[in-house]
Structure 1
Amino acid sequence: MEASDLQHPPFRVLTFRDGQQVIAEDVETEVAARVRFASAVDLCKTRDDAHDHHVELHAGPKVLDRWSSADV
């Protein structure tokens, strides 16, 4: 699922389940991107433990932050 109205988003939050990307959200500011990243992590923490979940925060090609249920 894509959630984007931006042509060249400076930040992107990606959410994965069992290695498959399920949500990609473009975000315009770093503050908003970090809030969205934290929200995605909170949501993943409530999901079924039988599946691997992870969330990544990107600024262009660079990964700024990553969370994985496997690391918990």
Structure 2
Amino acid sequence: MTDNAQDPTIGSLLQQIGDIFESNQNRFNRAIFEAQPPTQQAQSLQNMYNNNMKVEQISKMTGVPKSTVYTKIKTK
């Protein structure tokens, strides 16, 4: 007989799969972002912010620290 207390639930497995896909997408996004010249990076950050993306989301997507995002964008 097996101990089911240690078996992962379907929900936890789906969460892990989702985290892996998100992590891979974020790495791809960061690589694209970092390949841009600095002026284009700043413009991209501003465009994301202007299109209602939260600073936390921008930071996670681009790999840029939140404090840097705040210094690079103009808030309304």
Whose strand fraction is larger, Structure 1's or Structure 2's? 1
Higher relative contact order (CA 8 A, sep 6+): 1
Q: TM-score range by the shorter chain?
A: 0.3 to 0.5
Larger Rg: 2
**Which structure has more helix as a fraction of its residues?**
2
TM-score normalized with structure 2 length: 0.35
State the TM-score, normalizing by the size of structure 1: 0.37
